[in-house]
A and B are shown apart, each in its own frame.
Chain A
Amino acid sequence: MAKDEVSASAVGAPMKRREDVRFLTGKGSYTDDMNRPGQSYVVFLRSSVAHGVIRTLDVEAAKASEGVLAVYTHRDIEADGLGGVPCGWEITQSDGSKMVEPAHPILASGKVRHVGDPVVAVIAETKAQARDAAEKITLEIDALPAVVDMRSAETAGAAVHDEAPNNVCYDWDFGDKEKTEAGFAQAAHVTTLEFTNNRLIANAMEPRACIGEHDAAGDRYTLITTSQNPHVIRLLMGAFVLNIPEHRLRVLAPDVGGGFGSKIYHYAEEALVTWASKKVGRPVKWTADRSESFISDAHGRDHVTKAELAMDAEGKFLALRADTMANMGSYLSTFAPCVPTWLHATLLAGQYTTPAIHCRVRAMFTNTVPVDAYRGAGRPEATYLLERIINKAAAELGLDQAEIRRRNFIRPDQFPYETPVALTYDTGDYLATLARVMTMADYAGFEARRQEAAGRGKLRGLGLSCYIEACGIAPSSLVGALGARAGLYEAATVRVNPTGSVSVFTGSHSHGQGHETTFAQVVADQLGIPADSIEIVHGDTDRIAFGMGTYGSRSLAVGGSAIVGAIEKIVAKAKRIAAHLMEASVDDIVFEDGQFKVAGTDKAKAFAEVSLAAYVPHQYPIEELEPGLEETSFYDPKNFTYPAGSYLCEVEVDPDTGVIDIVGMWAADDFGKVINPMIVEGQVHGGLAQGLGQAFIEQCVYDANGQLPSGSYMDYAMPRADDLPSFAVETDLVGTPCTHNPLGVKGCGEAGAIGSPPALVNAVVDALKPYGVQHMDMPLTPQKVWTAIDAATPKMAAE
């Protein structure tokens, strides 16, 4: 290929995204853009109360309403013997017993457990008719006391589920308790921090939607859905809910408008439309209104934690103890139980050599929407815990926030490093990322900036955060031992077509990440062919052998590694074909620059000559070598990957209003090898916006009755363009490649959302240092900041 073609698509080049043209011209194909012949529409009548017993449910008027095809309640689901929505992870409690795992019915059965719990499905010719008919349903609910605040859930006197009378799903602990206590016994100083990690709503811009269709001729179902992992949906829904074997169930996840975790899970609506499509004999489409998304998409975070850090007199960490309460909501969503446990407690070493760590987690049921993984999932909570308590400790000890971290970093010569919480970090250079971000942000010049701002009556603060995450989920045998009900490898098929173009079928799913571009770069690099001759196919269980999907920053590290595995098989086979064509020994064939060459000679066959010979040969050693050039590979990661970085956030607080102006956000990340720096930086930008959103404006609010006042974009503060600054992001300066996957990549999708919340809070607490403020819970709204300043002001005046 021409040189400029190579450089445009080379690994490490900021190749422009090939998916962009369709999105920029309105030709994207999202689920709600699709319409099937004869399609009908379903609207769900959902509970308007948080907790109660269904006293009256009369759907006769709805059934008689214009255009209505069917009205279904739990009774119809039960009559057909359908299962409930399954959970994919089981936690074993500290006492050895299993977590409480209540049934999660597709439509509420007898009781409703959160505002938004679906009760009735109305199917009609048009969405408007279905909505009109739903209005005619009589649904009377005898309200029960709602369990809303998890801190008092154990003694609330009401049970979300009868099988969990105290609303405890599990009580779990991890780490060496005795060693941790011994660390505290030796401590010269102990810092304590109690905080909440605020509840968030993912809010992918595309609301969830799905279309179920049944082909009566072949008794075959198709589900088109807004999913990050169509194969997982096929497995969960087919095997556990609808009892449809894989060969009769196709799940498609076409263009998907963002996920951030909320589109991982199998949702009741997917099962309902699939099941109902056969019952009514018509395709059934559901598209959530945004208001409906707020009360039916899984929420995120929502931890209450007490943490204690034991240190010696020099600020060296001796032990860390954490006691966390995590909200599960009303039912267990697909991954929910593992988020506050295995994705949280195992990250509590952070970038540091803390020798002893112990963490207890109690997961609580409440009458709120189920909570599950949201961008980062457990790792932001762990990072926030560490990076906040470290700054509080630094302030108490009079140490610089960078210096206390330097004293405790795992040093570059200590890798591989085994933490006391089960992980083995393969590689990293935390001193380098810290040094880099301090240069980027002109750390040394901060005091001058603080003084300059003070002259204008503004309070300036600088906050540091050094995160690590475990990505590339996950080594299957390990997660199996931890309670995952499925291994978490990834699959890829590479098909070399007869004339040399290549189709790659990946189990990863792109919903904004740009896989069609990045994966093509990887394949172009490995095969030495132009990226234009490579297509990346994802999101279709009929075309792709298998897959576990995209979440946990796993696509390139796990899915990309599977592609490399398939390519290795392709090259090995193609070499044998080339050896036959050139009458050479296979051992003498080398593959370089897209050519198969006989070493030491000028004999060569182009890639496309070999591929053609693989499919339509005249003379072929068919006894020894099967024609065709298509290979599938499954990749099971040997370890997690450990991206890490250092973030600095600089704020200016207006003491008269409490308004925070984010004046600088710097990120130095080590993602290992970077395939497409443009895309990687974009991932960090998006993560930063979500992390900063959590830190200063976003908050999912339930009132005491379990109503959701923050149930629309009028009330839930999504970060807007004018809330955020430009970001300074560097991702390729300090890379330590991953040592255990073939691409050396670590994953970049969640970093920004993990590292930035504590950076911002640390910055604001730093700015409010003159007022004696030691901590504030997120989000740091102007009201909260102003109140903190106001409360401290009389005290200051008196001093």
Chain B
Amino acid sequence: MPSVSMVVNGRQVSGEVEGRTLLVEFLREQLRMTGTHVGCDTSQCGACVVHVNGESVKSCSIFAMAASGAEVATIEGVANADGTLSVLQQAFQDHHGLQCGFCTPGMVMSAADLLKINPNPSETEVREWLEGNICRCTGYHNIVKAILSAAATLRGEAVAAE
């Protein structure tokens, strides 16, 4: 089997994969990084979103080989260096933006990419951005609130209490 190497959350990793091995399978099965989830088989649900070279990508839609040499970031690498939650993660907790938690890693990774591209999104822009991330628990209401709140915090604005 061919070998593949990449940088995941700042760590150099390598492994043997089949040509058909997906990036998400490489992360979950070989690296045992199970924070990235698989919720569908048609690249619709977004539970598997990671960043590849700084952009959000559904890791079920790319072969591990195709990520060879790439910088990959996953949910496991999002928290602050001291282990506390990042601003975005904290906003999800503060606003009850998750219930069962299964879609959450993909939501956080997707939202992080949005806030990088658009630090001041409107509610409509957040909702449209999340079109590729399905949540069955929250009705999105609190996810949207969390992302808008995190955006305000990251812009340095005071956020009104709940």
- Interface positions of A (Cβ within 8 A of B): 14, 16-17, 19-30, 32-33, 35, 128, 203-207, 255-258, 260, 289-291, 511-514, 678-679, 681-682, 685-690, 712-714, 718-722, 724, 726-727, 752
User: Judging by beta carbons under 8 Å apart, are A257 and B93 in contact?
Assistant: no
In the complex, the answer to whether A24 meets B99 with C-beta atoms within 8 Å is no
Q: How far is the CB of A568 from chain B (nearest CB, A)?
A: 30
26 contacts between A and B (CB under 8 A): A17-B93, A24-B93, A24-B98, A24-B104, A25-B35, A25-B78, A25-B85, A26-B34, A26-B36, A32-B38, A205-B45, A205-B137, A206-B39, A206-B102, A207-B38, A256-B100, A682-B99, A686-B99, A687-B139, A689-B140, A712-B40, A712-B42, A720-B130, A721-B131, A721-B140, A722-B127
Known: A25-B75, A32-B38, A206-B100. 9 other contacts (CB 8 A): A16-B96, A20-B92, A20-B93, A23-B98, A26-B34, A205-B136, A258-B102, A511-B100, A712-B41
At the interface with chain A, which of B63-71, B141-149, B151-159? B141-149
With A128-B20, A205-B135 in contact, do A28 and B101 touch (Cβ < 8 Å)? yes
In the complex, are the beta carbons of B126 and A721 less than 8 A apart? yes
Assuming the contacts A258-B136, A720-B131, asked whether A726 and B74 have C-beta atoms less than 8 A apart, the reply is: no
Residues of A close to B74: CB separation below 8 A: 26
- Most chain A beta-carbon contacts within 10 A, residue among B35, B79, B162: B35
B123 within 8 A of A: yes
Question: Given A17-B93, A685-B141, are A512 and B99 neighbors across the interface (CB < 8 Å)?
Answer: yes
CA gap between A134 and B147 in the complex, in Å: 44
Please report the C-alpha to C-alpha distance between residue A20 and residue B76 in the assembled complex, in whole angstroms: 14
Contact of A721 among B102, B130, B162 (CB under 8 A): B130
Contacts of A681 in B (CB 8 A): 96
**Judging by beta carbons under 8 Å apart, are A722 and B128 in contact?**
yes
Closest chain-B Cβ to A711's Cβ sits at a distance in Å of 10
Inter-chain contact total with CB atoms closer than 8 Å: 183
The answer to whether the Cβ of B33 comes within 8 Å of any Cβ in the partner chain is yes
Within the assembled complex, what's the spacing in Å between the Cα atoms of A689 and B140? 8
Most buried by A among B79, B96, B128: B96
B105 partner, pick from A26, A514, A718, A727, beta carbons under 8 A:
A26
In Å, the complex CA distance between A289 and B45 comes to: 13
Query: Judging by beta carbons under 8 Å apart, are A721 and B133 in contact?
Result: yes
Q: Inside 8 A of B101's CB, which chain A residues have their CB?
A: 19-20, 22-24, 28, 255, 257, 512
A597–B136 alpha-carbon span in the complex (Å)? 49
Chain A residues positioned under 8 Å from B3 (CB to CB): none
Query: A-contacting residues of B (Cβ < 8 Å)?
Result: 18, 20, 28, 32-42, 44-45, 47, 74-76, 78-79, 85, 89, 92-94, 96, 98-105, 108, 123-124, 126-128, 130-131, 133-144, 162
Contact B144 A721 (CB under 8 A): yes
Interchain residue pairs A-B with the least CB separation, the first 5: A26-B35, A23-B101, A257-B102, A689-B139, A512-B100
From residue A137, how far is it (CB to closest CB) to chain B in Å?
Answer: 20
Q: In the bound complex, do residue B123 and residue A726 qualify as a contact, i.e. CB atoms below 8 Å apart?
A: yes
**Chain A nearest CB: distance from B111 CB in Å?**
11
Tell me the nearest residue of chain B to A716, going by C-beta: B44
Determine the chain B residues whose CB is within 8 A of the CB of A28 once the complex forms: 35, 101-102
Measured between beta carbons, the chain B residues less than 8 angstroms from A205 are 37, 39, 45, 47, 100, 102-103, 134-137
Residues of B within 8 Å of A685, CB to CB, are 138-142
Contact present for A290 and B37 (CB under 8 Å): no
Query: Which residue of chain A has its CB nearest to the CB of B85?
Result: A24
| A439 to B: closest C-beta gap in Å | 20
- A128 and B144 contact, Cβ closer than 8 Å, known pairs A25-B79, A720-B130: no
Give, as a whole number of angstroms, the nearest-CB distance from B82 to chain A: 13
Q: Are B18 and A128 in contact (CB under 8 A)?
A: yes
Q: Which residues of B contact A752 (CB under 8 A)?
A: 139
User: How distant is B29 from chain A, measured CB to nearest CB, in Å?
Assistant: 8
Nearest CB of B to A690, in Å: 7
Nearest residue in B to A30 (C-beta to C-beta)?
Answer: B102
Q: Which of B35, B100, B127 has the most CB of A within 10 A?
A: B100
Q: Chain B residues near A258: list those with CB within 8 A.
A: 99-100, 102, 136-137
CA distance A688 to B137 in the complex (A): 10
Please, how many angstroms separate the alpha-carbon atoms of A128 and B99 in the complex?
A: 32
Nearest B residue to A24 via CB reads: B89
A678 to B141, CA, bound (A): 12
B143→A721 contact, CB < 8 A:
yes
Contacts of A712 in B (CB 8 A): 40-42, 44
- Which residues of B sit under 8 angstroms from A719, Cβ to Cβ? 139
Q: Pick from B42, B100, B133, B142: contact of A204, CB below 8 A.
A: B100
Q: Are A714 and B105 closer than 8 Å at their CB atoms?
A: no
A292, chain B: closest CB distance, angstroms: 9
Task: List residues of chain A with CB within 8 A of the CB of B33.
Answer: 26
A290 close to B40 (CB less than 8 A): yes
B18: A residues at CB distance < 8 A:
128
Do B100 and A14 touch (CB < 8 A)?
no
**Shortest CB distance B99–A (Å):** 4
Contact pick for A686, options B44, B76, B136, CB 8 Å: B136
**Nearest CB in chain A to that of B109: its residue:** A26
CB distance from B43 to the nearest CB of A (A): 9
How far is A679 from B138 in the complex, measured between Cα atoms in Å? 10
Chain A residues with CB under 8 Å of B141's CB are 685, 724, 726-727
- The answer on a CB contact under 8 Å between A26 and B76 is yes
In the bound complex, do residue A290 and residue B131 qualify as a contact, i.e. CB atoms below 8 Å apart? no
A585 to chain B, nearest CB (A): 47
Min Cβ gap B50→A in Å is 10
Q: Please give, as numbers and ranges, the residues of chain B lying within 8 Å of A206 by CB-CB distance.
A: 37, 39, 100, 102
A679 to B137 CA separation, bound complex (whole angstroms): 11
